Amino acid sequence: MSRVSTTSSQTVDVRSLLENKRSKKLKMRKLENIIPYLLLLSALVSILTTAGILFTLLRETFGFFSEVSFVEFYTGTNWSPWSGEFGVLPLIGGTLLITVIATLVAVPLGLMSAIFLSEYASERVRKVIKPILEILAGIPTVVYGYFALTFITPILQAIIPGLSIFNALSGGIVVGVMIVPMVASLSEDAMNAVPNSLREGAYALGATRLEVAMKVVVPAALSGIIAAIVLAISRAIGETMIVTIAAGATPNLTMNPAESVQTMTAFIVQAATGDTTYGSIIYYSLYAVGITLFVFTMLMNLLSQYISRKFREEY
């Protein structure tokens, strides 16, 4: 057995050094024992918060359903809480309409950006573009909202005559733009994780760049890509400020993107910022809508987890 010796004339006696350190380490061991509990505590904070939110939501929701029937709430097509009509479908419809438009914008743009960044861009270009794309994710959504209202809407009005100033289309497009970085960045991560040997295998068969991207890289990264899309959609469902500002406040059961709609989140803003009195039925309705929204986004997140497990192509 050979001992490692230093190149200098003095040799380091590692064994006695370690022996010295060991006595210090023994003191550390007590702390070492406490650390798992400290870490658990921090994890518990977020779990308890979630439980607390869920508890509040449920308690107030029960209060609501003691005055308005469950069936009326989920099947009614008229939402005018100030005159006692509590059919939530127009709000759900508004939310879905915005989400569909946003998805139609975000998926193609996001995927194409991801393919460009991962398969076409040189290392230098990617290092510049990806952070810029991610900056988009850091813009406050209020800014997006006014961007939609004062920039996108006038353009749309020039194209579609008679388009009202508040409309689902403008809000949906801008929500879509807002989630593009999320789709692009997460999909690009998934595509980047595809080993280069697979690309080489395809190039060596005479595949073009596009064929390598579409027939090898995207299928291999599919689970990550779908998870990215679903997560982004879930973000779009929960988006508040853009739709509050740009899509209006007209509960409207329609699939016409040119009309003004109100989403679940926009109603919550409207009711929460108005002079709603504590304990009134409108106050309670906030929670009923809130829990509906919560169920929607939770389902999307579960779906995303399920998909990324189910479609994992192992490589």
Partner 1 sequence: MIEMQNKAQTPKNQSTEKKTEKVPNIYEVDDLNLWYGNDQALYEINMDIPQYQVTAIIGPSGCGKSTFLKTLNRMVEMVPIVKTTGAIRYGDQNIYEDKYRVEDLRTKVGMVFQKPNPFPKSVYDNVAYGPRIHGIKDKKTLDQIVEKSLKGAAIWDELKDRLDENAFGLSGGQQQRVCIARALAVEPDVILMDEPTSALDPISTAKVEELIQELKKDYSIVIVTHNMQQAARISDRTAFFLNGELVEYQETDQLFQNPEDKRTEDYITGRFG
Candidate residues 19, 67, 72, 313; the one interacting with partner 1 per rule CB under 8 A: 313
Using rule CB under 8 A, residue 32 touches partner 1: no
Dihedral of the alpha carbons of 178, 162, 258, 136, in degrees to the nearest 10: 0
Per DSSP (E only), the strands in 110-264 are none
| Six-digit token string for 294 | 């919560």
Least Å from the CB of residue 201 to partner 1: 5
Least Å from the CB of residue 231 to partner 1: 23
Using rule CB under 8 A, residue 13 touches partner 1: no
Q: Which residues lie closer than 8 Å to 260 by C-beta, 6 or more apart?
A: 164, 166, 167, 168, 247, 248, 249, 250, 252
CA angle 277, 280, 284 (to 5 degrees): 110
Instruction: State which residue, 63 or 219, has the beta carbon closest to partner 1.
Output: 219
Distance CA 315, CA 309 (A): 14
Candidate residues 202, 245, 291, 300; the one interacting with partner 1 per rule CB under 8 A: 202
Using rule CB under 8 A, residue 193 touches partner 1: no
Burial tier of 118 (Cβ tally within 10 Å: 0-12, 13-18, 19+):
buried
Using rule CB under 8 A, residue 310 touches partner 1: no
Burial tier of 89 (Cβ tally within 10 Å: 0-12, 13-18, 19+):
middle
Candidate residues 211, 238, 249, 270; the one interacting with partner 1 per rule CB under 8 A: 211
Least Å from the CB of residue 228 to partner 1: 19
Candidate residues 57, 186, 216, 271; the one interacting with partner 1 per rule CB under 8 A: 216
Least Å from the CB of residue 12 to partner 1: 33
Using rule CB under 8 A, residue 63 touches partner 1: no
From 45-53, 60-68, 161-169, 192-200, give the range in contact with partner 1 by CB under 8 A. Answer: 192-200
Residue among 40, 17, 21 nearest 29 (CA): 21
Provide the mask over 277-306, with x wherever binding to partner 1 is found by CB under 8 A and - wherever it is not: ------------------------------
Three-state DSSP class for residue 239: coil
**Contact residues: partner 1, CB under 8 A:** 122, 195, 197-198, 200-208, 211, 215-216, 219-220, 313-315
